Structure 1
Amino acid sequence: MPPTDWPLVLGDDGSSSLSKIARQQDNSIVPLLVDIQSNSATTQSRVLSFLENLECLRFPRRPNGQKASAIRVSRERINAFQLRQYVALSYTCTASKSEDETAGLYHVQERVGQEFEPSRVRNSILGRIFNYMRTIYVDLLWIDQHGIIQDTNGCKRPKFDHEACIQKREGMEVMDLVYKFSNHPVGLLGRPITSAQELELLANLLQRKLTSGTGAYIQLSRNRNPEEAWTALEMLHRITKDDWWHRGWIFQENYKGGIKMNLLIKHSEKLEDLKRFYRRNMRSPYGSPIFGNIDGELCIRSVDFLEEATRLCLACRKAIVRHHIPSNPGMRERETAVERILQTVGKYTLVLKPSEPMTPRIVADIEKRQMKDHWDRLAITANCCQYSTRLNVRQLMQDNASLSLAMLALCLLNGEVLHNGCPANPRASEMTVSEFLIESLFDEFNSPSNQHSLTFNRSCRFFDVSLTNYGIETRGHMWKIHKIIDTCEWPPQGAWVKDLSGMLEPSQRKQLAYFARHLAMAGHTSLSKSVKEYLERDTGLARIPNSNLSFTDRYMHTMASEVANAIARASPLGLGCLWTPDECVGYKPYMAVFILEDGGTPSQTSDMSGESDESDDVEVFAFTASRPEDCSSEEYDSNDLDRHVSFEVEVEGVVGNTDGLIPQLRIRRWLPGLCFFSRVSRAHVVFSWPRDLESISP
């Protein structure tokens, strides 16, 4: 049992190491994860009727020239699936030092009836957002204080079945979609811009005058005084100290608002003319005017601010490394400021490698944010990462479960992939869960050249996951690669093709046509036929809008493009057939082709014949799985996404389950491939626990 000085219900243990959590829970980490799944995992089914009856406030109209002691604001219900011309407001409930806390000027219509009551929302908040709405000609506002039931009459029922509680829960569960659907999500920052110098620095930052280069070559601009960059860094440090950046639910609102989210920053009245001068004469790197035309406000796209702030920080970090003087306290302060700003507003496309998943960074960023109830982290993470499996928080709290382990279980149950083929990390037991996710989630994805890497990586997840004492059980197809083909001597132009039209590029169709011909000549008629049939289908798919294509068609096109490009690079290819642990010796047709960029593992390259472009007697295993998102219900939102994985694996052994013997696997590397199978059911497999996680005990 845990020591008596520990609380009955564990609170925020985000800073606790895995070994400490094991001691607190008096159990090993793996059984604890299995218990969390057994007791609290549930399929997400968010009620969409909340969005079909979204409660908004209508922009108040005052009689001309009249001032009122109370401004009346009426309610209006809309269907957010059909009408998205509304402002979704993101703000802090507590006032900053620069804000007036007074409330009561605006009287809002009650949910039932025609009576109006003073709003608890600060006058300054409603005044600013109505000023914004007046300028952009939008009449409807959604704000959580009035759009979600706040008063649950002190309900403390453990089943959460009080009508007001149910309505509040349903609203909270889909609140991320309110911001995603809105055409005008807006965040109100509290700290104002008060000086012309700050405004000029912000203008230069947003115009990308302080940095140059892209990717790994981002650096401070050589055309500007370096001191201007350091002064801009100090300004960013002040802006990102605003409470708005440090709230958990606001992180979700900004994340889901995406490219449509605008930030409003107040400025002093004396800066109005200068702001409008910048708007008329200056443009962002994307050609849009900076700062907007809202009286008294700077209007900045959130993604633009994140991008330029991140670029400046990365450039400053590089300059600090180049000129670092350990004994210089000013340099150390700048270094600290850079890292703090990046932790607050770092743009994932710039701070993450193309091969990395976003999940560890999202989990860590949410963990740093402030929230009234730490257990809300689970819901926020699930919404931002698009998780369809949720955990019952009340049950977890009653079970005295670890919040950090619940977060780890949530990630794994939703298909996040642990790189279990890596050597054990001796430091793992002293890591927090967020640190463990950064170190241990698979981070060697290789996205197709025509897709955004982080978007592709986001869908690289298992499905139908179950946590067991043996490992992470899932379903997919197992392949055994028996033959490696050397494409070095193949003609670079491919083969003649009668019809070049299709979704694939003409050069890609020629490469695949030659591949099909080679397979036929080598006697691999089944796979050759599949490739030819795919080329015929590709011609027809070109006439279908991309948005109407099925997940299968889109994914097959992506993989076919990758195989064609690999042939153009003269990369070796591996031919695979379906495999099961209890297979009998006998003929199985090849049904898949995999891209072996490095020629396979060292033990296989020696098998490649110098006299032939094919080699036999290799034994490489692969696991693939793909499934479209669950869109089975019109009433409920599963919060799912398309999923696909393709790994080279090591078969470590077999374990038994209700379906018989299933292979126990460890991941070797990412292994993209094009697979042809129809009406072949998925098989159960289990990915062993990472050795370091498995060994953590009290």
Structure 2
Amino acid sequence: MKDDDSNIPLSDIVKDHGKSIASLLVEIAGNRPPTGKCLKFIRELECLAMVENPSEKPRLIRRRINAFEENDYVALSYTWDKSDHESPEKGRYEVRTRDQRPRFLSSPVRDCVFDRVFSFMRARDLRYLWIDRHCVRQRTCKTTDICDHKRCNEKQHALETMDLVYQQSKHPVTLLGRPIEWEHELDLLDRILTGQFAKQLKETPHDEVLQALSLLSRITKDIWWIRAWTFQEDYRGRPDMTLLIRHPPFLEAKKQSCRNFSDVPNEICIDSVNFSEASTDLCRAVQDKSQRDDVLHHTEHILGAAGSYKNLLKGNMPMTPTVIHDIQRRRLREPWDKLPIIANCCQYDILINNKHMEKSKTLSISTLAMYILNGEILRNEPREDRSSMLENTLSKFLEKQAFDGFCPPESEHDLTFNKGCRFVDAEITPIGIKTKGHLWKLGRIIDTSRFCLPLPQAKEKPCSFAEDEQQYLAKLAAELRRLHEPTLAWHIQRFLDYDRTRPDENSDKETFSRQYMRIMVKGLVAAIKKGNLLRSARIWSPQRNDNPCSAVFIWDADVANNTGLKGKPYRYDNYRKRERTPEFAFTASRPLQRGFQDRGTNDIDHHVSLEVKWSSLAGNSPDDYPQLFIKRWLVGLCFFYGFPRTNVVFPWPSSFHTVSH
């Protein structure tokens, strides 16, 4: 088996190992190391500072800072290999060693790298520089096994924690090698980044469009765009990451007149997010206008290198498969470094480390195991002939199999909300993903268009809910009482009244559960305003079946997009027929876990809310975990006080049990 099997179909990996995907996942999950990041690396972050002496070479001394408290440092992103537009000269800068009797040795970093970054730092009055070549130990053992050497452990901790270096920095900086050389290029770039070029596209001659795309292509063909480590540095350095592009001195006055490129001498300073979004907007607009090969050649390359997920992905889609795809197609000296890079970019708390593996070393399945253990959701509905899914590489498989039916509320950033849609405490078992949460038996369908009570007045007491949210929540509680759902009505009224007791509560200190419930309230109120259907639910328990209703879900937020297992839309007329078969929802949530002592986490808040199919309810023994199949995402407001979480299993897609011979 190749060391990097990212480009190999999953079916070939199964054949080479003689085991199913499910069996390989179980083996790999059993070898995972302790979780958490070594925060000592960040609390004692080693940086360089310039000691200028005109009579000697520039010298750099080492200083340690606590980056959690002092983040006014530059975190530098650059490539160790020179670009075609850079001078290879090095040795003019000297760096102090870590020895007990320190010396100053010539740096192997190119002189032009230091020249450019210190020019930026002088313009911004910054003192400290973090650069991986000198601030991470480089001389370590080459063994692929676990090493007990202090320097080897320090480097491993640095690799796993490096994303925080860029995230904590107020000044992450990227050095691009390809310069802007002419005034018309500078003018084109300015028009692209301000959005003027895209707005005036219809009136722009085709040759000028090609010039703009050609410029973006040349910029994004710099080797910085094709490295996996630099992808992580940019991804985690946002929204503060700045791209530096050199220009000759004669363009300084023109650059200053553009007002968007800062005042660093001989450098164009570009906000990385702005570059990504503006480039994406232009490419999408050009694609809509023309399908000519000379255009598509440029746009496909630019979007592949610098495309904005926010602008490329639909609001119901997850980012993770795209992130994994983008990392896997970039270059690395050590292919297994893709695992910590993926973990850092996707904010995974659980990291798979190949050095802890005794067998079944496969990078693709290790990536899949890490994806699952961190709560990511796979479609698992039963379908015929799913073995063909294994003919895909992992990234292509995830593109097709990852759940992509999220329903982020209108008030939220779609992809950010979707990023937190993950199972809680996921475990890999031979039959599927074991997780914890609350299983709800769905009950009465409530037609809000038939609500007959008047909209109550919002109370004058201060409240963090908007006035219409107060009114519609109170109205919902009143209608539920009228429909003989007193417990659910009481929970909603209590939730509303509790909010009024804390009107000045700092939103930054508000608990995750309360923030999440606020988001659900916005969706619920919007549904009531539209006259959508709601559905009540009660906690399912194997011990008792008479729990009162304590949850309400939006049942037809978008009938056209909500389909059942066979692709048929849910219709109100069909509900009565389907009531004979019990229907269920599964919810789970937990706030991010911050770790303890010197072991921090890379965690985010987790939350899921799914309609599920539990087909074998009648045949299950009390000791069996419910086996659930995902139908669709549900938005709802749930109150589960006093009810413990239930263990459930989401069975593997059928292809995971296939073994090739």
Aligned to 1:291: 261
**Residues 1:25 and 2:27 aligned together:** no
Displacement of 1:387 in angstroms is 0.4
Q: Does 1:117 align with 2:109?
A: no
Pick from 257, 281, 300 the counterpart of residue 237 of structure 2.
257
From 523, 535, 540, give the equivalent of 1:579.
Answer: 540
Unaligned runs of 5+ in 1: 1-6, 213-219, 280-289, 322-330, 610-614
Partner of residue 319 from structure 1, selected from 283, 289, 297: 289
Please name the residue that 2:222 is paired with: 242
Of the candidates 94, 99, 103, which is equivalent to residue 107 of structure 1?
Answer: 94
- The more displaced of 138-147 and 108-117 is 108-117
Q: Could you say which residue in structure 1 is the equivalent of 2:610? A: 647
Q: Distance in 2 between matches of 1:656 and 1:122?
A: 69
Match of 2:450? 489
**What TM-score, normalized by structure 2, do the two folds share?**
0.94
Compared CA separation, residues 149 and 342, structure 1 to 2 (3 A): same
- Provide the residue aligned with 1:674 in structure 2: 637
| 1:324 corresponding residue in structure 2 | none
Alignment of 1:495-514 (within 5 A): 495-499=456-460, 501-514=462-475
Q: 1:421 Cα deviation (Å)?
A: 2.2
Pick from 73, 83, 94: which aligns with 2:81? Answer: 94
> What amino acid sits opposite 1:49 in the alignment?
K
Instruction: Indicate the residue corresponding to 1:300 in structure 2.
Output: 270
Aligned to 1:286: none
CA distance in 2 between counterparts of 1:61 and 1:483 reads 76
1:683 equivalenced with 2:646 (yes/no): yes
Corresponding position of 2:596 = 633
Contact 1:390 1:410 in 2 (8 A): yes
CA distance in 1, matches of 2:382, 2:188: 46
Relative to structure 2, which stretch is displaced further, 474-483 or 196-205?
196-205
The 8 Å contact of residues 429 and 696 in structure 1, kept in 2 or not, is answered as no
SS of the equivalent of 1:132 reads helix
Q: Does 1:606 align with 2:566?
A: no
> Match of 2:150, as an amino acid?
E
Corresponding letter in the other structure for 1:111 = R
- Residue 39 of structure 2 is aligned to residue 48 of structure 1: yes
Give the whole-Å Cα distance in 1 for the aligned partners of 2:575 and 2:342: 47
Partners of 2:50 and 2:58 within 8 A in 1: no
Given the alignment of the two structures, is residue 140 of structure 1 paired with residue 101 of structure 2, yes or no?
A: no
Structure 1 Cα separation of the partners of residues 606 and 554 of structure 2: 20
Cα shift readout 1:15-41 (whole Å, capped 9, x = no counterpart): 111111111111122211121112x22
User: Secondary structure at the residue paired with 1:193?
Assistant: coil
Q: Which residue type is aligned with residue 313 of structure 1?
A: C
Deviation at 1:67, TM superposition (A): 5.4
Letter in 1 for 2:193: L
Alignment check: 8 A CA contact 2:590 2:607 kept: yes
Match of 1:418 among 378, 395, 401: 378
Instruction: Give 1:208-607 correspondences, 5 Å limit.
Output: 208-212=195-199, 221-279=201-259, 290-321=260-291, 331-396=292-357, 398-421=358-381, 423-424=383-384, 425=386, 427-490=388-451, 494-499=455-460, 501-580=462-541, 582-584=542-544, 586-597=545-556, 605-606=572-573
| Counterpart Cα distance in 2 of 1:694 and 1:680 | 34
Q: Which ranges in structure 2 are unaligned for 5 or more consecutive residues?
A: none
Query: How far apart, in 1, do the equivalents of 2:501 and 2:304 lie?
Result: 47
User: Once structures 1 and 2 are overlaid, which stretch shifts more, 199-208 or 125-134?
Assistant: 199-208
3-state SS of paired residue (1:264)? strand
Q: Which amino acid aligns with 2:301?
A: R
Identity score, percent = 37
Q: Matches of 1:255 and 1:384 in 2, distance apart?
A: 7
Q: Report SS of the residue matched to 1:391.
A: coil
Q: How far is 1:307 from its partner?
A: 0.9
Alpha-carbon distance between aligned partners in 2 of 1:394 and 1:236, rounded to the nearest angstrom: 40
CA shift at 1:557, angstroms?
A: 1.3
SS in 1 for 2:335: coil
Write the letter of the residue equivalent to 1:247.
Answer: R
Structure 2 residue matching 1:42: 3-state secondary structure = coil
Residue 663 of structure 1: SS of its match in structure 2? coil
Structure 2 Cα separation of the partners of residues 462 and 400 of structure 1: 25
Which residue matches 1:14? 6
Q: Displacement, 1:608?
A: 6.5
Shift of 1:632: 4.0
TM-score by length of 1: 0.89
Q: Secondary structure at the match of 2:627?
A: strand
- Corresponding position of 1:181: 168
Give the direction of change, closer, same or farther, for the CA distance of 1:657–1:411 in structure 2 (3 Å limit): farther
Once the two structures are overlaid, the 10-residue window that deviates more, 683-692 or 125-134, is: 683-692
RMSD, matched Cα: 2.3
The CA deviation at 1:561 is 2.2
Output the CA distance in 2 between the equivalents of 1:35 and 1:657. 28
Q: Does 1:129 align with 2:117?
A: yes
Q: 1: distance between equivalents of 2:619 and 2:49?
A: 61
Q: Displacement of 1:543 after TM fit? A: 1.2
Which one-letter code corresponds to 1:471 in the other structure?
G
Map of 1:328 onto structure 2 = none
**Which segment is superposed worse, 133-142 or 308-317?**
308-317
Pairwise CA distance, 1:259: 1.2
* Residue identity in the other structure for 1:627: R
2:150 aligns to what? 163
Quick one: distance in 1 between partners of 2:419 and 2:211?
36
Q: 1:402 to 1:358 in 2, by over 3 A?
A: same
The answer to whether the aligner puts 1:72 opposite 2:63 as a matched pair is no
Distance change >3 Å, CA 241–CA 539, structure 1 → 2: same
Q: Is the 8 A contact 1:72 1:107 kept in 2?
A: yes
Question: Structure 1 residue 478: deviation in Å?
Answer: 0.3
Change (3 A) 1:576 1:658: closer
- Give the partner amino acid of 1:264: L
